[in-house]
Chain A
Amino acid sequence: MPGLRHIISMKELSREDIERILEKARELERFARKERSNMLEGSVLATLFYEPSTRTRLSFETAMKRLGGEVIDMVSKEVSSAAKGESLADTIRVVDKYADVIVLRHPKEGSARMAAEFSSVPIINAGDGAGHHPTQTRLDLYTIMRVSCLEGLNIALAGDLKYGRTVHSLAYALSLFGANITLVSPKQLRIPEFIKSDLRARGIGIRETESLESVMNEVDVLYVTRIQRERFPDHEEYMKVAGVYRITGKLLDGVRDNLIIMHPLPRIDEIAPDVDRTKHAKYFEQAFYGVPVRMALLSMLLEAE
């Protein structure tokens, strides 16, 4: 893809770019299942995780290995000792001599962009502080494409819409496909005003509500996120909102036949276990789709070399 040199944020991509990545993921999905491939044989991926995110790291490692590539990683202990002495810029300029592509997760916002300035190989941002986490958004889109339909979607985003950047990034991406978005959150956790006006400016339908029950029966996708305790000044405030959007089997009475429920995982208790057995539950499939999507990104970045 012309210009696809690093994967830093979602905003840099057009609808066509996203579609090409999703198509590529569809093409490679079979290698995430039974079939074997040596497409990336001889290539080395380095994972640099300055904060732990085992799932994301495993998903990248799986994607690389299933395409025949190798993985080296700095385990978090080494990384944290490096963090004290060595700058990220220096670490990048060492590791880019060993690897053909680097996956980076770092607590500082903008670190992936800075790493890209110093790196001679592609950087994939696997989360920078409260900043971007673009590969999560891509796998969310891929999941919707595979089990629902991206075009003209009715979707409800529920939970922490204030701090949850995953949700912001997803909402921006969905706006490229003309979605109708319902924002469901307690008052304290509403989506920031500037994001809402950005989304409206893109010409998509937005509505806000506090009541999940009132929208359950009208949507094709229900995207649930965690409400994180550390966002609240005290336990009492947290408890007031923590349990409000618990999805249970009973709540699914009368929903659309094609409704799918998504969650970036891990869940705490936002979704009751009895939902897992319903046809609506797609969150484990969603986790699996992280592999073909990351395969697509790796192969596109490495082929572009």
Chain B
Amino acid sequence: MREKDVRVLPIRNGTVIDHITAGQALNVLKILGITDKSNSVVSVAMNVPSSVIGTKDIVKVEDRELIEDEVNRISLISPKATINIIRGYEVVMKHRVELPARVDGVVKCVNPNCISNTSEPVVSKFLVSGKPVMLRCAYCDYVISENIAAHLI
């Protein structure tokens, strides 16, 4: 039996996010909006040895098939992550996350004088380019290129 099968049990239906950059699993949950108030059954494995990327994190969300928009945001903090959609214990779809062209309401602009950090009725908006991942505020042009996880909303 392979090691990872022991650590995280297979799920019947839902989404498995694999090859998450080690240490980023909790931020992945944050990006997906999964909090202590969510009802989903979620399992998290961190610092799992991986033949592909050294060590990795894994997140399994049961009974929820994540849509592309949601999962692509994960690429901001974990560009090598893969998404597996599971139905009846079978992987029915497997793909890599892709950098979205734009992310809205996910990252807070670091410029304290930016209009997106006021009570105006707008959400933050960033244009995304890679690699390495670079976010440019669509309002004030400020660039975030390091430690993106620290600026998650």
CA distance A110 to B111 in the complex (A): 10
Number of A-B contacts (CB under 8 A): 48
Q: Kindly list chain A residues whose C-beta atoms are within 8 Å of the C-beta of B113.
A: 107-109, 129-130
Partner-contacting stretch, out of A111-119, A138-146, A258-266: A111-119
Q: Kindly list chain A residues whose C-beta atoms are within 8 Å of the C-beta of B115.
A: 88, 106, 108-111, 113-114, 128
Q: Does A206 contact B (CB under 8 A)?
A: no
CA distance A106 to B122 in the complex (A): 16
Q: Kindly list chain A residues whose C-beta atoms are within 8 Å of the C-beta of B148.
A: none
Chain A residue nearest to B137 (CB atoms) is: A110
Residue from B111, B116, B121, B141 in contact with A87 in the complex, judged by beta carbons closer than 8 Å: B121
Q: Does B36 contact A (CB under 8 A)?
A: no
Q: Does A292 contact B (CB under 8 A)?
A: no
A69 CB to closest chain B CB, in angstroms? Answer: 28
Size of the A side of the interface (Cβ < 8 Å), in residues, is: 17
List which B100-119 residues lie within 8 A (CB) of chain A: 111, 113-116, 118-119
- Whether the pair A110, B116 counts as a contact (CB closer than 8 A) is yes
- Whether the pair B138, A113 counts as a contact (CB closer than 8 A) is yes
Q: Does B139 contact A (CB under 8 A)?
A: yes
CA distance A139 to B132 in the complex (A): 38
Q: Does A127 contact B (CB under 8 A)?
A: no
B76 CB to closest chain A CB, in angstroms? Answer: 20
CA distance A110 to B120 in the complex (A): 12
CA distance A129 to B115 in the complex (A): 10
**Contact bitstring A78-106, B, C-beta under 8 A = 1, else 0:** 00000000011100000000000000001
Chain A residue nearest to B138 (CB atoms) is: A113
- Whether the pair A114, B139 counts as a contact (CB closer than 8 A) is yes
Q: Does B140 contact A (CB under 8 A)?
A: yes
- Whether the pair A113, B139 counts as a contact (CB closer than 8 A) is yes
Chain B residue nearest to A113 (CB atoms) is: B139
- Whether the pair B114, A110 counts as a contact (CB closer than 8 A) is yes
Q: Does A159 contact B (CB under 8 A)?
A: no
- Whether the pair B140, A109 counts as a contact (CB closer than 8 A) is yes
CA distance A111 to B120 in the complex (A): 10
Q: Kindly list chain B residues whose C-beta atoms are within 8 Å of the C-beta of A122.
A: none
CA distance A42 to B13 in the complex (A): 64
Q: Kindly list chain B residues whose C-beta atoms are within 8 Å of the C-beta of A129.
A: 113, 140
Once A109-B140, A131-B140, A131-B141 are accepted as A-B contacts, the answer to whether A114 and B111 lie under 8 Å apart by CB is no
CA distance A122 to B3 in the complex (A): 61
B128 CB to closest chain A CB, in angstroms? Answer: 17
- Whether the pair A89, B121 counts as a contact (CB closer than 8 A) is yes
CA distance A111 to B137 in the complex (A): 12
Once A110-B115, A111-B115 are accepted as A-B contacts, the answer to whether A87 and B120 lie under 8 Å apart by CB is yes
Q: Kindly list chain B residues whose C-beta atoms are within 8 Å of the C-beta of A113.
A: 115, 138-139
Q: Which residues of B are in contact with A by a Cβ distance under 8 Å?
A: 111, 113-116, 118-122, 137-142
List 18 additional A-B contacts (Cβ < 8 Å) besides A108-B115, A114-B116. A87-B119, A87-B121, A88-B115, A88-B120, A106-B115, A108-B113, A109-B111, A109-B140, A110-B137, A110-B139, A111-B139, A113-B138, A114-B120, A114-B122, A117-B122, A129-B113, A130-B113, A131-B141
